[in-house]
Structure 1
Amino acid sequence: MIKNISIFLLLLCSSTLGYAQKNKKSLPDYLQLDNTIKAISAVMIHDVVNPPAAARYYNYVMLGAYNLTALNNKEIVPLADFVKTYKDDNQLSIEKGKYNYQIAAIYCMLETGKQMLPSGFMLQDNEDKYIKLLKDNKIDDDIIKLSIAAAAEMTAKVIKYSKGDNYNKLSGRLRYTPIKGGKNWYPTPPTYMEAVEPNWKTIRPMLIDSSNEFVPVRPTPFSTDSTSEFYKQAYDVYKVSKNPPLEQVAIANFWDCNPFAVTTSGHMMIGFKKISPGGHWMNIAGIVTKKAGLSFDRSVTVLTLEAVTLMDAFISCWDEKYRSNGIRPETYINKYIDITWTPYLQTPPFPEYPSGHAVLSNASAGILTYLLGDKFAYTDDSEVPYGVGPRSFKSFYEAAEEASISRFYGGIHFKDAIVFGNKQGRLVAAKVIEKIKAAKITRQN
């Protein structure tokens, strides 16, 4: 009998690793956005939320906070000015000035997560602790009460908007049936999980025009001929895994971000719950807004635009994954090169082309570079709770390049999926930037 044991690391650390310079402005404990993001991420980790769905949750969790901020700060561009599918005017029954909109924004994030996530009820404890924190900081009881009420009203608006994105229709769509043989993706060991979110292209995007707006060039033609380009790419993956240098291993581990990771020991399968790729980049956004010393309102702006970009990046990426339906290196190498070979990282349960890490990391690097500058050095401690890192970067694109190549080092992607995934991600970022530029959203630091 196989036992599934989940090793769950919920270390909501408030590490200061990576803050190479002292914050220009220090926000009070009760306005620390990164702590709220980590609490929401912890529930996603507990629920083993898949990467595209995680990006969707981060998106909606941030929208309410952004709306509350824009409603009370005229310098923040209203969401409807750049997200054309959002029609609500965000007006609340509670008068401005009678509630603290920043407190309401934090509480709205928790409440949205509580209502949307499968195990969102776990965030009730965070809400209770947050109220206690407010009282410990001598916040007036009436302000707390009205701020929570404002958060509840805004949460309802966000939930209503979320219901129009087609997510609730996914379960009714035709299930994906793997096609064995040839170039096609097929479930891989050790879990042989079914394909993750094959219909994600039907989700309503935020700023890109459609899921197929940025279709990448066709992947290298499949071939079993040992002189072919496809075989050479597979052999490159095979070779790079032989006696890898420590730095290569460190890079692969740091960017693993596989919520589905398991290991086997005899008849036991042990699950290692990890943060999603999008969760990693949301952490990065939290780290750099602190280092930049941004105000609460500008931090909300950066985190929201990062979350919006993640959602669109996954929609764009997943559209192509199930169009090309590409075989993973593990399947190909086992059949045509070495039946005993296993990748360093566990192969994720979805088609290979393009690399999701390449798309979303380059999209994230693009939006963060636009908002914070192209030479923003920082140290990323996102993986410390999982026993990995920290790692330092001179820019967001340097981090994106490392995240992309980590999939090659891990043995789970061919080079073309990385190269063209990088380009696709940059195109997604360019479209997001085009839309927010038109709405007059500029650099935040």
Structure 2
Amino acid sequence: MKKIKVILLILGLLTTNIVVATKPRKPIESHIQPTIFSLTMVMIHDVVNPPAAARFYSYSMLSAQCILAAESKEVLNPKVYIKGFPSINANRPSEANANLAALYSILETGRLMLPSGFQLEADQQTLLEKWKNEGYADKEIKASVAYAKEISPQIVTWAKIDGYLKLSTLRRYRPLKGDAYWYPTPPAYMEAVEPNWRTIKPMLIDSAGQFKPAPPIVYSAEPTSDFYKFAKEVYEVGKNLTEEQRLIAAFWDCNPFAVNTSGHMSIGFKKMSPGGHWMNITSIACNKINLSFEKAIVLHSLVATTLMDAFISCWDEKYRSNRVRPETVINRFWDIHWQPLLQTPPFPEYTSGHSVISTASAEILTYFLGDHFAYTDDSEIYFDLKPRDFTSFRQAANEAAISRLYGGIHYMDAIKNGQAQGAKLGNFVLEKLKANGVKPFIN
């Protein structure tokens, strides 16, 4: 009888050990999207402007990529394709898990760089608790966090030399005199956003002006002029929008600056940036095909750095041509009370930022994941907008571009030439990657 009890006790202990040892872990890839969205939420809180948001995403993702590249030669090293990328020095603790460290570093880099980065501390704690519940050992978690905290400060130190910290010392923007030039628009008449962004050091392109687009159509109040026709098109389209066109415009609004006024009261509405939208599209695509953790991090990093350079290129042209917005022209020519469907962003019109950055991002995603990648974009659910289905990244980029006409905030030449600008920039990045042997993730 005693022997039977002993055997049963041993079997019980063995069974218990088996349960603990095989405790299911959530796939590490599933943590990428919510981790990046944590950055997005803090940027929404801080009302981070679109160019700056792309910069924050870029450095945060590069920190994760660095950790994985040090772990495996199969992971693309940023030093290979980013000129001047620093040598990262860190001793990886033997207990550290590179994947955990990479995820944590995204939040840590954001914590160190974002104005309200301290808010990410709660997200970091939540991430640690998730890992503990998934069965990761305390030693492994602590070592991984320590490893990330060695890498992130080095990335942040490198970020300090890109010119961002000098922006506040540069000459402030003053509207130019003349009907052809941009002037702050209602309802808030906000001052120009990032007029000196062209001084930021790019990640991948050679210079801010490398992809200077064709000149904008020359301003003219003559009814027979091309400019007059472009402006009239915005006016007429805006008066006859279909319900589908309204939905498209709202879906791609991505305006962190929206202000509604009623009498003497002004109410601000916060949304994710255009770059944040494309970062989430990248996450959606990676999740759909269960892309490996390493490849997913690299792809997010490449999209982020491309976004950063696309904004630098676009902003270089915006403050060169300094073209007046449709709202100002339409109020001047035809209807003083006319308002666009979307609130006019506080910076010059040419070229369309959505057209440039969406097209560039789509080129990167198309190369790595294929030209017929169908997906459902639910990025805007948080803002009470229904998901939209797309058959490819390029289709999504085209819709994002034309949404600016529907929204009443861009002329068609800014949209078309912006798309051309973005395509050239995106393909330049891809040629650089191809030259270093980087191949598509899906053949």
TM-score, normalising length from structure 1?
A: 0.92
Contact 2:306–2:361 under 8 Å retained in 1 = yes
Q: Quick check: 2:76–2:298 contact (8 Å CA) kept in 1?
A: no
Q: Which amino acid aligns with 2:263?
A: G
CA contact (8 A) 1:219 1:417 kept: yes
- Give the equivalent residue in structure 1 for 2:75: 76
Please state if 1:28 is matched with 2:27. yes
Q: Which of 376, 379, 383 does residue 379 from structure 1 map onto?
A: 376
Deviates most, 352-361 or 176-185 = 176-185
Q: Which amino acid counterpart does residue 326 of structure 1 have in structure 2?
A: R
Whole-Å separation in 1 of the counterparts to 2:305 and 2:28: 26
Indicate whether 1:238 and 2:235 are aligned: yes
Moved over 4 A (4+): none
- Name the structure 1 match of 2:7: none
The answer to whether the aligner puts 1:299 opposite 2:314 as a matched pair is no
Residue of structure 2 in register with 1:315 after alignment: 312
Between the aligned partners of 2:439 and 2:154, the Cα distance in structure 1 is 26
1:43 to partner: Cα distance: 0.1
Question: Quick one: which amino acid aligns to residue 135 of structure 2?
Answer: K
Instruction: Classify the secondary structure of the residue corresponding to 1:32.
Output: helix
2:158 aligned to which of 145, 150, 161: 161
- Structure 2 Cα separation of the partners of residues 365 and 135 of structure 1: 37
What is residue 37 of structure 1 aligned with on the other side? 36
RCO higher in structure (CA 8 A, sep ≥6): 1
Q: Which residue of 2 aligns with 1:87?
A: 86
Which residue in 2 is equivalent to 1:342? 339
The answer to whether residue 412 in structure 2 is matched with residue 415 in structure 1 is yes
- The separation in 1 between residues aligned to 2:220 and 2:29, in whole angstroms, is 57
Q: CA RMSD in A?
A: 1.2
- Is this contact kept in 1: 2:50–2:274, CA < 8 A? yes
1:261 aligns with 2:240: no
Q: Deviations over 1:271-327 (max 9, x none)?
A: 110000000000000000111210110100110000010000000000000000000
Describe the superposition over 1:180-208 as per-residue Cα deviations: whole angstroms up to 9, x where unpaired.
43210000000000000000001000110
Deviations 1:79-122 (A, max 9, x none): 1011121031x241224x53100000110000111110000000
Q: Distance in 2 between matches of 1:371 and 1:393?
A: 17
Residues 322-341 of structure 1 mapped to structure 2, 5 A cutoff: 322-341=319-338
C-alpha contact (below 8 Å) 2:28/2:293 kept by paired residues: no
Once the two structures are TM-superposed, the CA of residue 31 in structure 1 deviates from its matched residue by: 5.0
Determine the structure 1 residue equivalent to 2:212: 215
Contact 2:32 2:283 in 1 (8 A): yes
CA distance in 2, matches of 1:50, 1:87: 27
Whether contact under 8 Å (1:99, 1:146) holds in the other structure is yes
What letter matches 2:70 in structure 1? L
Report matched runs for 1:174-185 at 5 Å.
Answer: 174-185=171-182
- The structure 1 residue matched to 2:270, chosen from 263, 270, 273, is 273
Tell me if the contact between 2:132 and 2:138 (Cα under 8 Å) persists in the aligned partners. yes
SS of 2:260 mapped into structure 1: strand
The answer for the alignment partner of 1:197 in structure 2 is: 194
Q: Which residue identity lines up with residue 67 of structure 2 in the other structure?
A: L
Could you say if the C-alpha distance between residues 30 and 304 of structure 1 is closer, same or farther in structure 2, counting changes exceeding 3 Å? closer
**Separation (CA, whole Å) in 2 of partners of 1:297 and 1:235:** 49
Whether the 8 Å CA contact 1:31–1:103 is kept in 2: the answer is: no
Q: Name the structure 2 match of 1:47.
A: 46
Distance 1:324 1:27, change over 3 A: farther
Among 79, 87, 95, the alignment partner of 1:98 is 95
The whole-number CA distance in structure 1 between the counterparts of 2:304 and 2:250 is 23
Q: Is residue 28–residue 99 contact of structure 2 (8 Å, CA) maintained in 1?
A: no
Write the deviation string for residues 376-431 of structure 1: whole angstroms up to 9, x where unpaired: 01010000110112001101110000000000000000000000000000011011
Q: What displacement does 1:30 show?
A: 7.9
Instruction: Quote the Cα distance in structure 1 between the aligned partners of 2:335 and 2:80.
Output: 55
Q: Which amino acid in the other structure matches residue 40 of structure 1? A: L
Deviations 1:28-58 (A, max 9, x none): 2685100001111000000000000000000
Deviation, 1:27, is 5.4
1:30–1:103 Cα contact (<8 Å) kept: no
Task: Please name the residue that 1:360 is paired with.
Answer: 357
Size of the aligned set, in residue pairs, is: 418
What CA deviation, in whole Å up to 9, does each residue of 1:120-173 have, x standing for no partner?
000010111111111111211111111001100110111011011010111111
Asked if 1 retains the 8 angstrom alpha-carbon contact of 2:29 and 2:292, the reply is no
Which of 402, 425, 437 is equivalent to 1:428?
Answer: 425
Segments of 5+ residues of structure 2 without an aligned counterpart are 1-24
Residue 368 of structure 1 aligns with an amino acid whose one-letter code is L
Asked if the contact 2:203–2:309 (Cα under 8 Å) also holds between the matched residues in 1, the reply is yes
Give, in whole Å, the separation in 1 of the partners of 2:199 and 2:29: 38
Unaligned runs of 5+ in 1: 1-25
Q: Identify if the C-alpha distance between structure 1 residues 228 and 189 changes in structure 2 by more than 3 Å, giving closer, same or farther.
A: same
Q: Could you tell which deviates more after superposition, 296-305 or 135-144?
A: 135-144
One-letter code of the match for 1:38? F
Percent of paired sites with the same residue? 54
Structure 1 or 2, whichever has the larger Rg, is 2
Rounded to whole Å, the distance in 1 between the matches of 2:29 and 2:65 is: 17
Q: SS of the residue aligned with 1:36? A: helix
Q: TM-score, normalised by structure 2?
A: 0.93
The amino acid of 1:50's aligned partner reads N
Conserved 8 A contact 2:26-2:134: no
2:441 pairs with 1:437: no
Q: Give the distance between the partners of 2:316 and 2:343, measured in 1 at CA.
A: 23
Paired residues of 2:58 and 2:304 also in contact (CA < 8 A): yes
Match of 2:9 in 1: none
Counterparts of 1:29 and 1:365, CA distance in 2: 25
